Structures are given as C-alpha cells and as structure tokens.
C-alpha cells in the first residue's frame, strides 16, 4: 500500500497548517525576518484515512506516539527553507515518511539452529581459552 492510497494529499493539506514568522537569535540583527516557518497539525485519531485500517492506526501510534499531543495531533514543523511553499511541502513530505514507516510490515525473525561447523568451532575456541587460562595459573620451576 502506498502513501497516495492511504492518505490523500488534500486531507494532508486540509489539516491545520499554521504559517508563522521564523525566529531569529538576538545577536543576528542584520537578518531580515521571513514569514516562512510552517507547522502542520494532523489529527491522527480523527482522520478519515484510518477507516477500516485500525491495526495500521495502532501501529502508527505505537511508532510515533511520543510525537502525538494529548489532543491527538501530530505536529510537524519545517523552517529550513526561506520559501513558505517549500516548507509546506517539507512538512507534507515528513508526514508521508512517518505514515510510510507505519505501513511497512516488519518480518519476524525465524530462529535457526546453529550449524554443526559453528558448534564445533565454538567448542574449540572454548577449549583454547581454557588451556590459556590454565597456563596462566602454573608456576614454572615448581613441581
């Protein structure tokens, strides 16, 4: 399943997108403030995208639950570009990455038995270490 099938772009863009003034440190007075910061708030629990896909929502919340506010919003910010539209695109791209990570199914590891050769090598290494330690305890010249 792809992001396009899961979450339509219009729903992402119809989320609360707050555009604000980029904050500038006090020492940098020469820089002109730019209205390019973008904050995207997506209501995770109330989204239409989860209809019939509750296990995906649970996996999304399990992965990114720390980033979801108490009100149920996932807040994504972007202020890396000086262009406002580019920052909006970056926010949607970040949302896309988070959703696609939740859509990916992880394969469970199938435990395998150690091979006969690896078992033999392990036992030989143990014997070698045992002999080495026994040699350290010997006092030379005393029998």
The answer to whether residue 9 scores a pLDDT higher than 50 is no
Q: What are the φ/ψ torsions at residue 51 (nearest 5 degrees)?
A: -55, 120
**pLDDT top residue among 84 and 128:** 128
CA angle 116, 122, 128 (to 5 degrees): 135
User: How confident is the prediction for the chain on average, in pLDDT?
Assistant: 77
Q: Is 82 helix (H, G, I), strand (E, B) or coil?
A: coil
**Which fold is adopted by the domain 3-103?**
Double Stranded RNA Binding Domain (3.30.160)
pLDDT tens figures, 45-87: 777 777 677 888 888 888 888 888 888 888 888 888 878 888 8
The answer to whether residue 123 scores a pLDDT higher than 90 is yes
The answer to whether residue 1 scores a pLDDT higher than 60 is no
- Domain-wise residue ranges, the chain: 3-103
Q: Is 38 helix (H, G, I), strand (E, B) or coil?
A: strand
Which pLDDT score, from 0 to 100, does residue 121 have? 97
Threshold 0.85, pTM exceeds: no
């Amino acid at each position: 399943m792809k992001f396009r099938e899961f979450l339509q772009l219009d729903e992402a863009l119809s989320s609360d997108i707050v555009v604000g003034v980029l904050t500038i440190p006090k020492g940098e007075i020469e820089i002109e403030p730019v209205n390019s910061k973008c904050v995207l708030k997506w209501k995770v629990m109330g989204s239409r995208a989860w209809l019939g896909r509750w296990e995906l929502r649970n996996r999304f919340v399990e992965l990114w639950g720390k980033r979801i506010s108490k009100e149920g919003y996932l807040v994504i910010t972007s202020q890396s570009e000086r262009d406002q539209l580019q920052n909006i695109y970056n926010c949607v791209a970040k949302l896309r990455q988070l959703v696609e990570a939740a859509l990916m199914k992880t394969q469970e590891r199938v435990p395998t038995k150690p091979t006969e050769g690896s078992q033999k090598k392990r036992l030989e290494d143990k014997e070698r270490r045992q002999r080495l330690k026994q040699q350290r305890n010997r006092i030379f010249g005393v029998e």
